[in-house]
Amino acid sequence: MSGSPSLRNRINTTVRDMPRSGIRDFFDIVSTMKDVISLGIGEPDFDTPWHVRESTVFALERGVTHYTSNLGYLDLRRALVKYVQKTFGAEYNPDNEVLVTVGVSEALDLALRALINPGDEVLYHEPCYVSYRATILLAGGIPLAVETKAANGFRLTRAMLEAKVTPKTKLLMLNFPNNPTGAVMGREDLEDIAAFARERDLLVITDEIYGELTYDAAHTSIVSLPGLRERTIFLHGFSKAWAMTGFRLGYACGPTELIEAMMKIHQYTMLCASSLAQKAALEALARPESDIAEMLGEYRRRRNFLAASFAELGMECHRPLGAFYAFPSVAKFGLASREFALRLLTEEKVAVVPGTAFGECGEGFVRCAYATSLENIKEAMVRLRRFVARL
């Protein structure tokens, strides 16, 4: 690394010692190349539904350009609790149990900072979204990664958690449907985890940003299980199901004491989420079923196509049940994930993300996002076939 060592030494040590996201690293390589088909994009290829964009423009014309309440517009919070009740089966009070945030990323950061005292341990499962470990560390917590396995459909089990938990463990973080594995937890799987959280008296943060995107069975939220609502912060947002990533709009629902604590940090550091994005979210909640159904059908077809293609190529891939990621094994080719991804990129111009970007246990896997057109996926599979034939 270049630059002044004296400046580097003045950087906060947690930040200084933290590696950059493995995704960022790979992006720098891909962005120098042309005509790459990317299966590395973790956001929908669909545009935000037109009625949402149109109403955002209208809001701008009307001058909705001011600060909002710290918690977010009350009409939005009312619409959110209705949606959460109907879709995820938990009831919240819009006055003090919902906080609108700048994406789920902010909500996650707030939740961790609001709950963690130095030295508190946080259980989370890997492979997982790139920010989990980093945000736990930034909040002063100690990350305890629990490794999920392909053989088990990358689901989390109570036994895995029991093997890691200690008396210092305060929090359990969940993300199902999962990025990067596409894993989903059924009700029975979740009941075991819920019992574990209750018996160990753990708080739970559940990031359900892909909650609408399941392909074979409806999603169950852990927050709907007995005794979980009062110990859980439920996180959700508009990026994935409504294709609104750039709006940066998320929210947290939870018991009033926890939301109040998060709100204090939000108030001092962010003030409020963008007023326009909040209006857009309100419009998005006007007809979620029809907006989402169309995209869901398309994702399902792509998922089926990818799963069939991997099977034809003899690549092991647990069937992705949710989100828009497949996580096939590349171990049998005798290359490390990163090398596989780099060679696939340079030799065939197909970008996938090495599994190691999502935790060390992602070694031996690559993440293929199917948030790209079927045309692209088809061509990517032609190239992948050529590539693996040479290995």
8 Å CB contact between 70 and 106: no
How many angstroms separate the most distant Cα atoms in the chain? 60
- Least gap, CB of 130 to another protein (angstroms): 5
Nearest to 260 by CA among 75, 95, 132: 95
- Least gap, CB of 115 to another protein (angstroms): 23
Per-residue contact string for residues 131-150; x = within reach of another protein by CB under 8 A: x-------------------
In sequence order, which residues have a C-beta less than 8 Å from that of residue 127 and are 6 or more positions away? 148, 154, 178, 180, 181, 327, 355, 358, 359, 361, 362, 365
β-pairing, 169-174 with 353-354?
A: unpaired
Per-residue contact string for residues 242-281; x = within reach of another protein by CB under 8 A: ----------------------------------------
Structure tokens at 116: 């963690």
Q: Give the single-character DSSP code of 37.
A: E
The interface with another protein within residues 40-59 (CB under 8 A) comprises: 40-43, 45
Q: Does 31 bind another protein (CB under 8 A)?
A: yes
Q: Using the rule CB under 8 A, give the single segment among 70-78, 129-137, 259-267, 320-328 that binds another protein.
A: 129-137
Q: Which of 183, 351, 361, 384 binds another protein (CB under 8 A)?
A: 351
Q: Does 374 bind another protein (CB under 8 A)?
A: yes
State the Rg of the chain over Cα. Answer: 21
Give, in order, the Cα–Cα distances in Å from 390 to each of 59, 107, 111, 259, 386. 55, 45, 47, 54, 7
Q: Does 293 bind another protein (CB under 8 A)?
A: no
> Closest CB to another protein among 205 and 353?
353
Phi–psi pair at 300, nearest 5 degrees: -60, -45
Per-residue contact string for residues 304-333; x = within reach of another protein by CB under 8 A: xx-xxx------------------------
Give, in order, the Cα–Cα distances in Å from 324 to each of 98, 107, 196, 279, 360. 27, 22, 29, 26, 21
Q: Which of 349, 378, 379, 382 binds another protein (CB under 8 A)?
A: 378
Which chain residues interact with another protein by CB under 8 A? 21, 23, 26-27, 30-31, 36, 38, 40-43, 45, 129-131, 179, 297, 301-302, 304-305, 307-309, 351, 353, 357, 374, 378
